[in-house]
Structure 1
């Protein structure tokens, strides 16, 4: 690393937003620039994005961040990357963008059910994950069965962050946390496996898999063309990075066996780190982020994506609010929690128990207002996180404190609600962009600033707030949680009937 290099650049590619965030070597944020991309829904259950736009937005975000920070490009020691996992990003055989499917997509729901029934046990035995609708290999199998024209043209499979890395360096590579989080690696070895591909019905897909590297590996350096497109210095090292949920956990201060991270983002992410992976098929997935370092996860698309939908659909209508999320938080704060408050099921994009699950408010009365609805939404999201955490506990994975991250961690209400509803100590990191900070933690290790992730986390992360559970509110949420769970069981046949009617057309 050059003596004058005093910054690290983190890139965080979410399902829609791409962020470039500049940090100093101590992990303090200097500047950020974010670009919101377009989501396309060509048919019910299909959620796509332009792979070309992903890079276009990334280069604009990078240039904007450098300008905002007044940072000479030569002062950047390295670039780290993080990005949403799963979904499906394909280049064709000529390295042109082919298709981009986001991790909120449910088109493969029927196929994932068939795969799970026929080969779920065998798949889990290898990759510690059962098939599910937005899982990368399940989507690839769907493409093979339903769009053989696209499948035949496919040349390389990448993840969101890897697309950006390829444009920056000209190298097509991915790393073990994203690949294992997608059920594409044999665990605990974190290696490609031909038997695994065959179980997905993808025995001919090995040619699509890119070079596999460690998260802290240097993938390559910024090319001349990428430097001209972004404003970066040619030759700047680019580090592979992490599956964004692992990056966010590290960026929020969670590191080492037993550390817990809860991410309130588009997805509900509930993970506990360990030296040995949990072998229990009730647990959604295991991601390897290093040799003998694993994140055991219970996840679903049931978290703040529900709030984003509400804001987009109701709050932003006609531009009535200059600060829509500020309005939402004020509305939640205006309501005193009560026994007869309405409830919300956060299944707008399906749930962990099935793509047939649907969202909905229930228990509404004439005296309830928008604040009650929004508080119910916040509570319902927290309850589904709690249900996930109970699954982890049943598998022997427990914790008494957790680092809260994601957009929900910045809410004035959610952190305390999580502490009360889960009965654990909740910490919120000083860093706002924990995913990007996790990416530069990888970069700092990759170029030798720190010897490993533990040292980097200790040096570059700081807690800002801590929330202890309130026993009175804990009892309140315990009572309501049982009602909420009963309502899920009662609604399940209704949701299945609705899903069947949608299928029948």
Structure 2
């Protein structure tokens, strides 16, 4: 009987599941289901673990229905998720994390920035552990969120029995065993994976030296936890002969799905979505100021992970488009033509460039420049207080002007990726190729502008759903079909199309990249003046 595994990916807006053949990583079926999001106040973003678990069940059953494989042929399941914080009380009941007081809202989403003050306080201390997060902790990590909960919602803090990263919540619900992932705890909780210990002095200084945080077993990603519980098997339409793998963060799963077919130490995996993540592996630890890590064993076993990122990527492009004067008309036209607003804007950009006698759409933004820090900068400046800038606005409300702003925003994100790669290479990396997956890679303008701005080729995975494939790779290790995660990566991952940079636009992008950096330096000077 042919053997299959399931990869589950819980992103910011949806839960997705894919059924993959163990032998070669071929995808047989996929389904997705939306998940709820609450924004009770500015900077607050919340979800429900119950809603997420329900959505995962619907997605898995949908993927199985499309794959048309027997439940007993599915031998493993792997989970990845955003680095959101789940809070449970007695009997695993949800506890509110919300100013609304709703118990259903028991998840602080990764992009929630309510804990800025706690983040600043932590970063003001001379904590040795901070050197493993690029020198500064982020409000997207768990210690500031936990501090915020303890201070602002003391009743929730006292009643809580479990604080879990979302991926660990999913494996707990699936297996009934509270096993935490080395990936989640090293990357988001400050666990020192290379030493196999917590920095208890650091946690005590934050009031977080608590067995609910430090008292759970932490195991390598992809290791077998155990079989699905009977309840979980019924929820998924699977059997209790399906084994659950130790989980992983969503972007890191994308790295696993991409890097199996790449030159591991000379490539960076770009996982594009609501935010962007940039994952690079090295045999020895490399410290890059302003870039998270190095984290031992957090993505590829035996390797150190360095993780850059952009807090607003796909979310920023959507914001710019939806905020434009032409959005309603664009959305109507896209629906009528069964296409996307991105495809319409790409066509508009090409036609505009031709009409103006330009040889490349990049030149449309010669006098329009964007700094993409609308949700702060994650890397390489590690500045959550940074904000977005647009230089070159006029009173023009035409579709042509909206198109220029769209192209300039995509370019700004590409310059952010270039800055991360330059920062990494300055400290000892030799990155000469980008391997990419995620929503942005479905947009040809996004791909070409990133290749041109960075001056590097971009190789796509043959499997476009590389994040799902990454979780399936973990499942194939947990099932016993592959002795190591690395073996599974090599067998199940394949390279696809490569996009080459256009050397004719290099000088243009160099100039715009210099302006991009100058916009940030100007903003820092302005903030200092206003302080």
Corresponding position of 2:373: 347
Corresponding position of 2:210: 204
Q: Helix, strand or coil: the match of 2:31?
A: strand
Q: Does 1:446 pair with 2:465?
A: no
Q: Does 1:260 pair with 2:268?
A: yes
Q: Equivalent of 2:316, from 306, 317, 334?
A: 306
Q: Equivalent of 2:228, from 211, 222, 228?
A: 222
Deviations 1:172-191 (A, max 9, x none): 22211111111431142243
Aligned CA RMSD, in angstroms, stands at 2.4
Summarize the Cα distance change of 1:414–1:118 in structure 2 as closer, same or farther, 3 Å threshold: same
Distance 2:276 2:292 in 1: 12
Q: Equivalent of 1:389, from 403, 407, 421?
A: 421
The Cα shift of 1:111 comes to 1.4
Q: Does 1:483 pair with 2:502?
A: no
The Cα shift of 1:136 comes to 0.8
Mapping 1:23-102, distance limit 5 Å: 23-25=20-22, 26-85=24-83, 87-98=84-95, 99-102=106-109
Summarize the Cα distance change of 1:126–1:478 in structure 2 as closer, same or farther, 3 Å threshold: closer
The Cα shift of 1:341 comes to 4.1
Q: Equivalent of 2:304, from 284, 290, 294?
A: 294
The Cα shift of 1:228 comes to 1.9
Corresponding position of 2:110: 103
Q: Does 1:114 pair with 2:121?
A: yes
Q: Equivalent of 2:362, from 319, 337, 340?
A: 337
Summarize the Cα distance change of 1:211–1:71 in structure 2 as closer, same or farther, 3 Å threshold: same
Summarize the Cα distance change of 1:223–1:204 in structure 2 as closer, same or farther, 3 Å threshold: closer
Q: Is the 8 A contact 2:191 2:198 kept in 1?
A: yes
The Cα shift of 1:129 comes to 5.6
Number of equivalenced pairs: 494
The Cα shift of 1:276 comes to 2.2
The Cα shift of 1:106 comes to 0.8
The Cα shift of 1:93 comes to 3.3
Q: Helix, strand or coil: the match of 1:403?
A: strand
Deviations 1:152-181 (A, max 9, x none): 122112222222222221122221111111
The Cα shift of 1:141 comes to 1.2
Q: Equivalent of 1:358, from 372, 383, 387?
A: 387
Deviations 1:94-141 (A, max 9, x none): 31122201111111112111110123x422256766322111111101
Distance 1:337 1:128 in 2: 32
Corresponding position of 1:373: 405
The Cα shift of 1:313 comes to 4.8
The Cα shift of 1:71 comes to 2.1
Corresponding position of 1:503: none
Corresponding position of 1:324: 341
TM normalised by structure 2 equals: 0.87
Summarize the Cα distance change of 1:139–1:470 in structure 2 as closer, same or farther, 3 Å threshold: same
Mapping 1:174-189, distance limit 5 Å: 174-189=180-195
Deviates more, 1:258-267 or 1:137-146: 258-267
The Cα shift of 1:20 comes to 0.5
Deviates more, 1:392-401 or 1:427-436: 392-401
Distance 1:190 1:484 in 2: 40
Q: Is the 8 A contact 2:75 2:241 kept in 1?
A: no
Distance 1:187 1:477 in 2: 39
Distance 2:107 2:161 in 1: 14
Distance 1:187 1:212 in 2: 9
Summarize the Cα distance change of 1:469–1:280 in structure 2 as closer, same or farther, 3 Å threshold: closer
Q: Helix, strand or coil: the match of 1:337?
A: helix
Distance 1:210 1:238 in 2: 17
Corresponding position of 1:130: 136
Summarize the Cα distance change of 1:129–1:240 in structure 2 as closer, same or farther, 3 Å threshold: farther
Distance 1:265 1:19 in 2: 14
Distance 1:32 1:311 in 2: 28
Deviations 1:257-282 (A, max 9, x none): 44421222222212210122223443
Q: Does 1:159 pair with 2:159?
A: no
Corresponding position of 1:421: 453
Distance 1:93 1:317 in 2: 47
Corresponding position of 1:269: 277
Q: Is the 8 A contact 1:157 1:210 kept in 2?
A: no
Distance 2:451 2:52 in 1: 36
Q: Helix, strand or coil: the match of 1:158?
A: strand
The Cα shift of 1:9 comes to 0.5
Unmatched segments (≥5 aa) in structure 1: 501-505
Deviations 1:429-450 (A, max 9, x none): 1112111101111111222322
Summarize the Cα distance change of 1:333–1:179 in structure 2 as closer, same or farther, 3 Å threshold: farther
Q: Does 1:455 pair with 2:487?
A: yes
Corresponding position of 2:254: 248
Unmatched segments (≥5 aa) in structure 2: 96-105, 354-360
Q: Does 1:401 pair with 2:430?
A: no
Deviations 1:6-34 (A, max 9, x none): 21110011122110111112111111111
Q: Helix, strand or coil: the match of 1:273?
A: strand
The Cα shift of 1:253 comes to 2.9
TM normalised by structure 1 equals: 0.91
